[in-house]
Amino acid sequence: MGASIAGAIDDTFGLALSGEYYDRDAWYATSASDTTRPARLEEKRAANVAGTLSVKLAENQSLDIDASYNRDHRPRALFYYSYNPEWDWTTRDYREQQIERGTYGLTHKGDWGWGNTTAYITQENARIEDFNSRYNAPQERVLHEENTYAKAYANVNWGINAITAGIDLRRQVIKDAATYLESGRISTNSRALFVEDELALAPSLRLTLAGRLDDSNTFGSHFSPKSYLVWQGADGLTVKGGISRAFKAPEAYQLSREYRTVSCGGKCYLEGNPNLTPETSTNYEAGFEIHRPSWDFTAVVFKNDVKDMIVATYSEVGPSRAWANVAKAKTRGIELQGEVTLSPAFSVSANLTHLKADYIDETGREAKLDNRPENTAVATLNWKATDRLTTSLSAHYTGEQYYLTKDLPGYTRVDLSLAAKVNKQLTVRAGVKNLTDVDLEKKDRAFDFFELGRNYYVSATYSF
């Protein structure tokens, strides 16, 4: 259940407020009374409140003051069960988690004639109470996380140039005495300067040149350039393509030798690695779009060459997982998207992504990247029955993918939805998700995620 309200207080001040309460029961594939089967979807209670006070400082300046609070509680429940008949040994593991998160920030915008500027800073403080019977003592842990993010940039138009330039600042501090036994905490700091220039070379031709200089307290500086060309042709045709380089530093927890968390659906632990290095990539993209009165079509091919990609590698010894750099990784594929209006009442839309993703490890062995389906697709039939009633039937296909040690089969989920506008204020929505009741566990027990069984929903929105 949620509600929101927004509006002007007077000529200087405006206020927006929103709130939400969420209460979800656990969902079981069999029965809640079956003590050998953990819930597929855990019980959850959450509450969120947020507000923004907008202040008009002058005709050309504004200030937004934001604050929000979130509380998320997952009650203690079974999350892992196994039985070894050879030893007549049963293992049951339980977990519980409560997260409280407060965020506040300031955003200033100004229009100065020569251009406009935006500057904002956000501070997020989180307290995470985490119980897991898998942990070594203490099994009840409290973690504090502080994230600070600041960004300032300016936009200037100068001749054929549309220039954006600015700075990014980030700081993360994690305090967890039970995990980080030596210092009780871990932190990372990063800074970046960026500039982008969109050049109007001709009425139908634009070239974007950009660069970003990242600097961190752990890995020093790295420059990432980008170039992108867009040509606008006749009859709704657009051709585009570009090349860019990217830099991604490891997260603080990934770098800690003390970091250790339950993984593999409860079957193993995932550990940090202080020897991680940043991953860098060179990315290529080319494609075209066609927009016509009754249909649209887009096609894009892409290729990403990644050096030192950070992945969670798996070892059957233990078993165990750990963050590691893989020597080289490649992802390449094609994305297709289209929509056709069949009549005033019916339309069809679809998208397809074909992906190849593999890597070469430090020994020269080629392997597949985890959890990257070779094909994903969505097809939707929309029917506007009346001006007040619309329905849609969609099929979501997830193709074969590799996980840990094996290939997992593809599957298709079908959803049905309906929206009815009762009057100017009230809209009612209803539907059925997973209409064909797909059960991934029956397809392969190695899936580490699941699709909810056939489920139904009803919602209503009232505006005034």
Mean pLDDT of 250-275: 75
In the chain, the amino acid numbered 160 is I
d(CA 200, CA 143): 50
**Reported confidence tier of residue 126, pLDDT bands at 50, 70, 90:** very high
Mean pLDDT of 69-73: 96
Check residue 90 and give its pLDDT: 86
Mean pLDDT of 142-152: 94
At residue 69, does pLDDT exceed 90?
yes
User: Mean pLDDT, the chain, as a whole number?
Assistant: 89
154 bridge partner residues? 117, 165
- Tens-place pLDDT, residues 427-457: 999 999 999 999 888 888 777 777 888 899 9
Check residue 265 and give its pLDDT: 63
Check residue 87 and give its pLDDT: 84
At residue 362, does pLDDT exceed 70?
no
Mean pLDDT of 29-43: 81
At residue 330, does pLDDT exceed 80?
yes
Check residue 366 and give its pLDDT: 78
- Tens-place pLDDT, residues 178-237: 777 677 788 888 899 999 999 999 999 999 999 999 998 788 899 999 999 999 998 899
Check residue 266 and give its pLDDT: 63
**Reported confidence tier of residue 132, pLDDT bands at 50, 70, 90:** confident
Mean pLDDT of 105-119: 96
Check residue 83 and give its pLDDT: 80
Check residue 383 and give its pLDDT: 96
Least confident span in 54-58, 65-69, 219-223, 228-232: 219-223
Tell me how crowded residue 457 is: count the other CB atoms within 10 A of its CB. 10
At residue 38, does pLDDT exceed 80?
yes
**47 or 274, greater pLDDT:** 47
Check residue 152 and give its pLDDT: 98
- Tens-place pLDDT, residues 156-188: 999 999 999 999 999 999 888 777 767 778 888
Tell me which residue of 406, 401, 399, 349 sits closest to 375, measured CA to CA: 399
- Tens-place pLDDT, residues 82-100: 888 888 788 888 889 999 9
Least confident span in 269-283, 292-306, 391-405, 425-439: 269-283
At residue 256, does pLDDT exceed 80?
no
d(CA 453, CA 389): 27
Mean pLDDT of 239-259: 86
Check residue 88 and give its pLDDT: 79
386 bridge partner residues? none
